[in-house]
Amino acid sequence: MPEPLLLAYNTMIRVYTLKGSSREAIQLFVEMLAAGYPRPDKFTFPFVVKACGDLKLLGLGVSVQGLAVTGGVKLETFLGNCLLAMYMNCGEKEVARRVFDAMMERSEVTWNTMISGYCRNGFAEEALKMFKEMVGAGVEPNSATLVSVLPACGHLKDLKCGMEILELVQESGLGSCLLVSNALVDMFAKCGCIRPNAVTVPSLLSTCADLGLLKQGRCLHGWVLRQKLESDVSVETALIDMYAKCSCIRGSFRVFVKTSRKRTVPWNAILSGCIHNGLAIEAIDCFKKMLSESVAPNAASLNSLLPAYASLVDLQQAMNIHGYLIRSGFVSKVEAFTALIDIYSKCGSLYFAHEIFNGIPEKDKDIFCWSAIIASYGMHGNGEVAVSLFNQMVQLGVVPNEVTFTSVLHACSHGGLVDEGLDLFNFMVGVYQMRPRSNHYTCMVDLLGRAGRLEEAYALIKTMPFEPNNAVWGALLGACVIHENVELGEMASEWLFKLEPENTGNYVLMAKLYATTGRWKDAEKTRNMLDGIGIRKNPAHSLIESLVKRGYGLSGKDCFDAAEACIREYTKCINSARAAETRIWMDHAVKVDQIKGEAASMHVSPE
């Protein structure tokens, strides 16, 4: 594990580089070498090389590479990718190719860097050759790959290759990416296909979807019908996606039922549309129907489907989809691991979530799976473990993003770790120089409020560089109810009544605050405000009632028998998981004690 001084150097060099301050990063690296201690390691060199590439300092970059070699640093994927980018930025494509050939392991980023580098340096033919080599090697192109290679097709006016890439886009479901759609339109325009067709229309529909322009999307749908383009798979998919994102899922299903349903892409679009509109059970039903019609799902299908299982909060269902992923071979992808961590944690099994996390190879653990496991422990109130995992992640050189900080601050809030939360907030602002978002402020207000430090929470709100939203004021009001602070509660509720006047929960909370402090008339007055503005609290629904309304054919005694059977099975799964979960918790508690001493070095002061 890196020592604290080396970790501090690496963190600052990384932050300078990622924030565009490449000269400062190089200067700090030079100071590090001049001091003679600590010696740079495999986490230092990649970001220094990147800084050299950003400034096009080829000579210095070559020297840094030499230092890495003489220092015994292996040519791992991350360092190799940074070297490729540096040489391509400096126009040295032959040297970049030699580095590429020397790399033992290559990621999607490796191939994308080579393809985009060839394009930027005017070698379109080499870019296409590299793309074909990538596909031949069995590496699945992503949106970044296509955005890099399509300009080469346009430059060479290679319409045949462009059509092959279009077919790949349709099969992979990447046509919904606006950058890919724009690149396709640009490529076809340069190849002389400028009239509206099955390529340009999906791009327009995607724009309508992103902007929520349902009326304009319907107009385009009518034009599509008149031009008899509705049977084109890319147009079908774009229409399904447009209606779903405009909250018109019925329109999506009307388009979907008219498709041939023999290709995977329309199924992926309807699955994604169901999830977007909160229809988890309908998404699972669609997936089962997809399998029954012998349509083979792909990685995009599972990425669209898995959030449905997180919404259901059903451990048995989670195990079922996990088993399917194993049998079908999709579980080897890190995206599937990340989704399963989220699913199991929301189903109440931290044991299974952590077992899956431990099963991911260290080199494949990206920021998303780290964020998922940190959020899992935070969700269950295990703040200390969440903070220790965050510290481990940073020590391993993984750069946290806004979501990661939200997860760990939320964990501190629910775990009562006030000092740790404040340190992490300062760490985010001072070291990583991230501008806090509203969700970060919400976590901090909740953290301080739960601890009874309401004045500090309100002072933090007043320092926000933008208008606080309803979540921030809601956190303050919730804390005021807990600690019976009427003055600040009235201030928070005043803002909440303006920001979301139809949210019944705010009125109920304020009435509760008045009642707990003996102000019964004010409590009654607040509750009467609901009737005065015509707001009713929506009644809750039981699981059994929900099952009946979903059309599961349950009623009367059968319904209760089925419910009892489900509960027994669920309890059995939970009990079996808890026994094993206790073991992993005890093992991790030992690690927490070991890390606590090292964790302090991570909370660097912003001064």
* Rounded average pLDDT over 545-574: 47
Least confident of 246-250, 474-478, 516-520: 516-520
DSSP line for 44-82: THHHHHHHHHHHT-HHHHHHHHHHHHHTT----HHHHHH
The two tokens of residue 479 are 């804390």
* Rounded average pLDDT over 314-331: 88
At residue 544, does pLDDT exceed 60? no
Q: Tally DSSP H helices, then E strands, for the chain.
A: 33, 0
Check residue 335 and give its pLDDT. 86
DSSP line for 329-354: TGGGSHHHHHHHHHHHHHTT-HHHHH
- Single-letter amino acid code for the residue at 149: V
* Phi–psi pair at 430, nearest 5 degrees: -80, -45
Check residue 585 and give its pLDDT. 41
DSSP line for 428-453: HHHTS-PPP-HHHHHHHHHHHHHTT-
**Band (546; pLDDT cuts 50, 70, 90):** very low
Contact 275, 307 (CB under 8 A): yes
* Rounded average pLDDT over 179-202: 76
Predicted model pTM: 0.61
**Band (3; pLDDT cuts 50, 70, 90):** low
The 10s digit of each residue's pLDDT in 141-165 is 999 999 999 999 999 988 888 888 8
* Rounded average pLDDT over 419-448: 92
At residue 547, does pLDDT exceed 80? no
CB-neighbour burial class of residue 295 (10 A; exposed 0-12, middle 13-18, buried 19+):
middle
Give percent above pLDDT 70 in the chain. Answer: 86
* Rounded average pLDDT over 444-461: 94
The two tokens of residue 603 are 């909370």
At residue 357, does pLDDT exceed 60? yes
At residue 1, does pLDDT exceed 90? no
Check residue 589 and give its pLDDT. 42
- Single-letter amino acid code for the residue at 313: V
Q: Which comes out higher in pLDDT, residue 283 or 196?
A: 283
The two tokens of residue 55 are 């400034």
At residue 52, does pLDDT exceed 90? yes
At residue 393, does pLDDT exceed 60? yes
* Phi-psi region at 500: left, alpha or beta (left = phi > 0; alpha = psi -120 to 50): beta
Check residue 534 and give its pLDDT. 56
Check residue 599 and give its pLDDT. 42
Check residue 555 and give its pLDDT. 42
Gap between the Cα atoms of 234 and 230, Å rounded: 9
Q: Kindly provide the b/e burial profile for residues 429-443, where b requires at least 16 CB atoms within 10 angstroms of the residue's own CB.
A: eebbebebeebbbbb
Q: Please state whether the peptide bond connecting residue 202 to the residue before it is cis, i.e. omega within 30 degrees of 0.
A: no
* Rounded average pLDDT over 449-467: 93
The 10s digit of each residue's pLDDT in 564-587 is 554 455 455 545 544 444 344 444
Locate the domains of the chain by residue range. 4-188, 460-536
Best-predicted range by mean pLDDT among 52-66, 200-214, 323-337? Answer: 52-66
**Band (45; pLDDT cuts 50, 70, 90):** very high
* Rounded average pLDDT over 236-246: 93
* Rounded average pLDDT over 460-471: 92
At residue 540, does pLDDT exceed 90? no
Contact 530, 536 (CB under 8 A): yes
- Cα separations (Å) of 519 from 19, 481, 494, 505, 513? 53, 13, 17, 19, 9
Contact 522, 514 (CB under 8 A): yes
At residue 495, does pLDDT exceed 50? yes
CATH says 4-188 is which class? mainly alpha
Task: Label each residue of 95-142 as H, E or C.
Answer: HHHHHHHHCCCCCHHHHHHHHHHHHHCCCHHHHHHHHHHHHHCCCCCC
Check residue 65 and give its pLDDT. 93
At residue 343, does pLDDT exceed 90? yes
At residue 275, does pLDDT exceed 70? yes
At residue 34, does pLDDT exceed 70? yes
Half-sphere exposure of 444 (CA within 13 A, CB side): 25
Gap between the Cα atoms of 217 and 406, Å rounded: 35
* Rounded average pLDDT over 184-211: 77
Contact 397, 382 (CB under 8 A): no
Least confident of 121-125, 190-194, 377-381: 190-194
At residue 286, does pLDDT exceed 60? yes
Gap between the Cα atoms of 153 and 95, Å rounded: 24
- Single-letter amino acid code for the residue at 371: S
Check residue 580 and give its pLDDT. 46
Looking at every residue in the chain, the average pLDDT score rounds to: 84
**Band (530; pLDDT cuts 50, 70, 90):** confident
Give percent above pLDDT 90 in the chain. Answer: 50
- Cα separations (Å) of 522 from 3, 489, 527, 529, 599? 59, 13, 9, 11, 48
Least confident of 1-15, 371-385, 530-544, 570-584: 570-584
Check residue 525 and give its pLDDT. 86
- Cα separations (Å) of 54 from 18, 51, 65, 83? 10, 5, 15, 11
Gap between the Cα atoms of 217 and 206, Å rounded: 9
* Rounded average pLDDT over 276-292: 93
